[in-house]
C-alpha cells in the first residue's frame, strides 16, 4: 500500500539532489500536481517546485559549557548586574554609546556639510553640534 499524506521524515543523512534537470526534492515533500493545467503549465509547475527550498528552522549554536574557562577572567561574574562587584547595568549602555559616538566621528565631514545646507532641520544641526562637542571637534 502506498504511503499517503502526513509528515515523511527524510533519511539520516538526507539524500543529496542532482543538478539542474536531474534535481529532485530531498525533504520528503511530495511534488504537487495541478488539477487542470494548460499546455506546458504542469511541466513548469513541477520545475518551480523542484527548485524551491523548503523552509527550515534556523540552527542554534550549543551554549558554552559551565565548566569551560572564562573568556573574561578579569571581569566579575556580576558585571552588568544591579548587585555585586563590577560595573552596574548602566555601564554596559554607556560603554556601547561611547564606542558608537567615537565611530560616528568618521562621518563628521559629511554630516557638517549636510548641516550647513539651508534646508537642514534645526534638530539635525543640534545633533551634529553635540557629536562635535562629544568628540572634541568644536
Are the C-beta atoms of residues 31 and 24 closer than 8 Å to each other?
A: no
pLDDT digits (tens, 9 = 90+) for 109-132: 888 999 999 999 999 999 888 888
pLDDT band at 7 (very low <50, low <70, confident <90, very high): confident
Residue range 10-36: average pLDDT? 67
List the Cα angle 85/89/93 in 5-degree steps.
130
For residue 4, give the DSSP letter: -
Q: What value does the mean pLDDT of the chain take?
A: 76
pLDDT of 56? 55
- What pTM does this model have? 0.33
Domain spans, the chain: 93-134
Give tens-digit pLDDT for 31-74. Answer: 778 888 888 888 888 777 776 665 555 666 677 788 888 888 88
The grid cell for 110 is 559629511
Query: Which of the two residues, 76 and 56, has the higher pLDDT score?
Result: 76
- Predicted confidence at residue 32, as pLDDT, reads 74
Amino acid at each position: 500500500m502506498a504511503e499517503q499524506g502526513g509528515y515523511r521524515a527524510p533519511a539520516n543523512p538526507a539524500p543529496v539532489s542532482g543538478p539542474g534537470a536531474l534535481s529532485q526534492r530531498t525533504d520528503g515533500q511530495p511534488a504537487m500536481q495541478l488539477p487542470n493545467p494548460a499546455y506546458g503549465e504542469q511541466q513548469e509547475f513541477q520545475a518551480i517546485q523542484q527548485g524551491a527550498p523548503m523552509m527550515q528552522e534556523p540552527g542554534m549554536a550549543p551554549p558554552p559549557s559551565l565548566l569551560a574557562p572564562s573568556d573574561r577572567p578579569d571581569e566579575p561574574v556580576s558585571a552588568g548586574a544591579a548587585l555585586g562587584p563590577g560595573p552596574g547595568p548602566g555601564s554596559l549602555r554607556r560603554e556601547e554609546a561611547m564606542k558608537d559616538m567615537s565611530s560616528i566621528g568618521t562621518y563628521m565631514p559629511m554630516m557638517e556639510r549636510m548641516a550647513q545646507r539651508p534646508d537642514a532641520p534645526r534638530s539635525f544641526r543640534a545633533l551634529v553640534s553635540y557629536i562635535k562637542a562629544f568628540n572634541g571637534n568644536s
